[in-house]
Amino acid sequence: MRSFKGAILGLMSGSVRRHLQLPLVSRFWRVAFAATCIFGCATIARAQSSDSASGCPPKTRVDDVVDTYGSVKVADPYRWLEDQTSPETRAWIDAENKCTEAVLEHVPGRGDLRKRIADLYHTDNYSLPLERSGRYFFTKRLADQDLALIYMRRGRTGADELLVDPLGWSKDHSASTTIEGASHDGKFLYYSRREGGQDEVTIHLFDVDAHRDLADVLPSATYFSVEPTPDGHGVYYTRATPDGPRAYYHAIGTDAATDKLMFGDGLSKERILVLDLSDDGQYVAYLVLHGSSAPQSEIYIQDVKNHGPVVTVVNDIPSTFYPFFGGHTLYVQTNWNAPNWHVFATDASSPTREHWREVIAQSHDTIDQLAPVGGKLVTVYLHNATSQIILTDADGKNAKPAELPALGSVAVSGEWDSHELFYGFTGFNYPNTNFVYDIQSGHSSIWSKLNAPIDPSIFETEQVRYTSKDGTKISMFLFHKKGLKLDAANPTILTGYGGFDVSETPGYSPAMIAWAEKGGLYAVANLRGGGEYGEAWHRAGMGANKQNVFDDFIAAAEYLVANKYTNPGKLAILGGSNGGLLVGAALAQRPDLFHAIVCLYPLLDMLRYQKFMDGAFWVSEYGSSDKPDEFQYIYKYSPYQNVKKGTAYPSVLFVTGDGDTRVAPLHARKMAALLQADTGSKNPILLLYDTKSGHSGGRPVTKTIDEYTDILSYLTWQLGIPAQ
């Protein structure tokens, strides 16, 4: 089973993995800060005075650039910081980093905090396996290793054979690897090599039995799908090109420059193209997505075995469709006339709509994932933002649940011709565990488990509902140690996402375990714009409805304060990517409600986001300032354009880096400079800027530990948590 939705999520503005996000807030902060500011205060004060001899933060040059949108003139005083390679920008980045490092390295208790985060991350970690003809491919990172390595087992209980070791690729371990696919007989492995956190990778071919790389290398690009042929002779793949996405076929042993174009000629750059291959290699399904939010998609199918033409399955309905193969049956998961999704089936030889038959009807719960495995349909539903697995026959009948160990989140994987369903499970205090479910016997067993050094019994999770500005009920998870007192004094991180149909569901985060152990509350709000409650929920937070997302988030903070979980002086918000836009908008609209903000790899200048990197993919979600009617609503919430000089803003830590080739780091650079110049408070505005890390993961564990040490040090300092 291939995850089309997963391919889309990888290109969203918000694919920072949700279980690695944090949040922050505050206001009662002055007394608490004074009580704990032992030896970092003088440094902080210097860092906030641009006139001081220390030059922290650096004095930033102001441009007189003004753009005109219809009759509206909009100033962009830090346009020059968009040039990432200019000597002036590089010098500014270096100066900002020195200021931030000087501040954070003196936070009391930082060493103990780093040790605990390191203990939580230094555990053996396995991925879900990919099974091919009795061979199981997976990644494994041992507790003392910095990166995941690729292994294989011959049989489920066989010995682990090391195939690909990226530890020697770069001295700083900034180059990493991921499994992209394997041939049906398990003799060839396709893996990627990623430099830093970039989206672009190279695809390599590995001969499993000979234990060596072949000469075949697909060039550096953003790949949407990689599908090896069953005969092992080649691979179909889709990738971004300067002209738009394209599908190709590569024959093993040939020059990749001569790969055959299969589909996509004429598709524009804002489209995403993903393909799926039937298990026997006869049919290819092409999925064309109209941007990352996929408000519309198209499906085409081709009998490649018999050199057949490309046949249109659906291309004229403003809804989302995902194709899956189960043998020669084509399954279509769609929100067409069903905002909570339903599933149709048809024979691959007659795929057009008049032949479709509904096999899984829409229900009160939303369909999150579909996987044809072992002759069955495996459907993952979201019930109140937590996962449930239901198995049915191939025709959707005889529904049977697969029992899960707790309330949490699931990812499923498996093949049509195998009776093994693999699923990963995680919860706030349930470390990632991979299970294998035997479809024939109904028995589940553990494949691998993250043996984290925690006591799950000391924590608890609540799910509450609160009312947003327009009366809509919103759900929210609250994770904390047992015995939490409702005395309005709990240091709290509030996070959310609210976009691109991404669902915020319970998941294990070592950083949040460390936070909760220190008495912190971790709140995760299920905002509109996400996928927790179906496509209607998603559309209620996209485009002209985007303000609903910010209203939902602000209402979550107000609920936490009103119900005495915390107070504005103890409240922090955290978000990454699209979630960075979320906390940036909250900063601009309600600076009085929070004391600290962690803004990771964010979108902040929404009038120009579409001009950079993957921004064109997100126009279907946000709209574009290039269109006068869309400019009007984007301008009202775009954080960079809504900073008001002299306003007492909370403290902010911006986190980004050169390796982010998805969301341009210019957003964080410009916003940091603007806030440093215009804030009317003494709260520190900091920029943490890495020259290699980025959006797509693959970073070494030591780098992850460093970043979360910085983030949690910042939060414990700002929210007044005493060193222990």
Q: Which amino acid is at 442?
A: G
Q: Which two tokens stand for residue 650?
A: 């909370």
3-class DSSP state for residue 428? coil
Span 615-659, pLDDT tens digits: 999 999 999 999 999 999 999 999 999 999 999 999 999 999 998
Residue 4: closest CA among 285, 351, 394: 285
What pLDDT, on the 0 to 100 scale, is given for residue 197?
Answer: 74
- Greater confidence, 42 or 213? 213
CB atoms within 10 A of CB 453: 12
The encoded tokens of residue 56 equal 């922290």
What are 196-241's pLDDT values in tens digits?
Answer: 878 899 999 999 999 999 999 999 999 999 999 998 899 999 999 9
Of how many residues is the chain composed? 724
Q: Say how many CA atoms lie within 13 Å of 85 toward its Cβ.
A: 0
How far is it, in rounded angstroms, from Cα 469 to Cα 435?
41
648, with CB counted inside 10 A (0-12, 13-18, 19+), is: exposed
pLDDT band at 293 (very low <50, low <70, confident <90, very high): confident
- The pLDDT value recorded for residue 33 is 24
pLDDT at 661: 82
| Cα gap 100→652, rounded to integer Å | 11
pLDDT of residue 722: 86
For residue 579, the SS3 value is helix
Percent of the chain with pLDDT over 90: 89
Structure tokens, 428: 């706030």
DSSP state of 259: P
pLDDT bracket for residue 562 (50, 70, 90): very high
Strands 430-438 and 420-427: antiparallel
Cβ–Cβ < 8 Å for 405, 121: no
Q: Which of the four pLDDT bands, split at 50, 70 and 90, describes residue 694? A: low
pLDDT digits (tens, 9 = 90+) for 336-345: 999 999 999 9
Closest among 509, 490, 504, 513 to 560, alpha carbons compared: 490
Element containing residue 228 per DSSP (H, E): strand 223-228
Q: Which residue has the tokens 């190709």?
A: 248
Residue type, 180: E
Q: What is the mean pLDDT of residues 589-603?
A: 98
Nearest alpha-carbon partner for 110 in 649, 596, 518, 591: 518
pLDDT at 575 over 50: yes
* Per-residue pLDDT at 15 exceeds 70: no
Spatial distance between the Cα atoms of 137 and 193, rounded to a whole number of angstroms: 16
Long-range contacts of residues 562-565, Cβ cutoff 8 Å, at least 24 apart: 563/486, 564/486, 564/487, 564/488, 565/478, 565/484, 565/486, 565/488, 565/490, 565/492, 565/521, 565/523
Other beta carbons within 10 Å of 406: 14
pTM: 0.92
Give the contacts of 354 (CB within 8 A, at least 6 positions apart): none
What per-residue confidence (pLDDT) applies to 49? 38
Quote the tokens at residue 345: 């089936």
Give the closest residue to 641 by CA, choosing from 15, 27, 69, 58: 69
What's the rounded Cα separation, in Å, for the pair 439 and 416?
11
Q: What share of the chain is helix, strand, coil (3-state, %, to 5)?
A: 25, 35, 40
Query: What token pair was written down for 237?
Result: 């793949």
Closest CA to 103 of 569, 520, 685: 685
Query: Are 380 and 367 spatial neighbours (Cβ–Cβ below 8 Å)?
Result: yes
Residue 535 CB contacts under 8 Å (≥ 6 apart), including other chains: 320, 335, 339, 340, 341, 501
CA angle 368, 600, 178 (to 5 degrees): 60
Which of the four pLDDT bands, split at 50, 70 and 90, describes residue 495?
very high
In the predicted structure, residue 677 carries a pLDDT above the cut 50: yes
What pLDDT, on a 0 to 100 scale, did the predictor assign at position 659? 82
Beta-sheet pairing, 473-481 with 492-495:
unpaired
Domains of the chain, CATH where assigned? 34-119+454-718 (3.40.50.1820)
Closest of 240, 108, 166 to residue 698, by C-alpha: 166
Active site residue 290: no
Q: What is the DSSP letter of 569?
A: G
Structure tokens, 540: 């209620």
pLDDT tens figures, 411-457: 999 999 999 999 999 999 999 999 999 999 999 999 999 999 999 99
CA angle 436, 440, 443 (to 5 degrees): 45
Identify whether the C-beta of residue 350 lies closer than 8 Å to the C-beta of residue 311.
no
Among candidate residues 176, 624, 695, 713, the one labeled active-site is: 695
Residue type, 118: A
- String of DSSP letters for 643-685: --TT--PPEEEEEEETT--SS-THHHHHHHHHHHHH-SS---E
Which structure tokens are listed for 246?
Answer: 């394209």
Cα gap 486→566, rounded to integer Å: 8
Q: Is the pLDDT of residue 298 over 50?
A: yes
Answer for the pair 651, 597: CB distance below 8 angstroms, yes or no.
Answer: yes
Asked, as a colleague might, if the bond just before 57 is cis with ω within 30 of 0, I would say yes
Q: How far apart are CA 128 and CA 447, in angstroms?
A: 8
Average pLDDT, the chain: 91
Percent of the residues in the chain that have a pLDDT greater than 70, as a whole number: 91
Q: Which of 11-25, 57-71, 362-376 has the lowest mean pLDDT?
A: 11-25
Residue 566 in contact with residue 491, Cβ under 8 Å? yes
CB atoms within 10 A of CB 261: 11
**Are 274 and 4 a contacting pair, CB within 8 Å?**
yes
26, 192, 387, 577: the catalytic one is 577
The answer to whether 409 is a known catalytic residue is: no
Residue type, 194: R
Indicate whether 153 pLDDT > 90. yes
Q: What is the pLDDT of residue 54?
A: 55
**Which helix H or strand E contains 297, and what residues bound it?**
strand 297-303
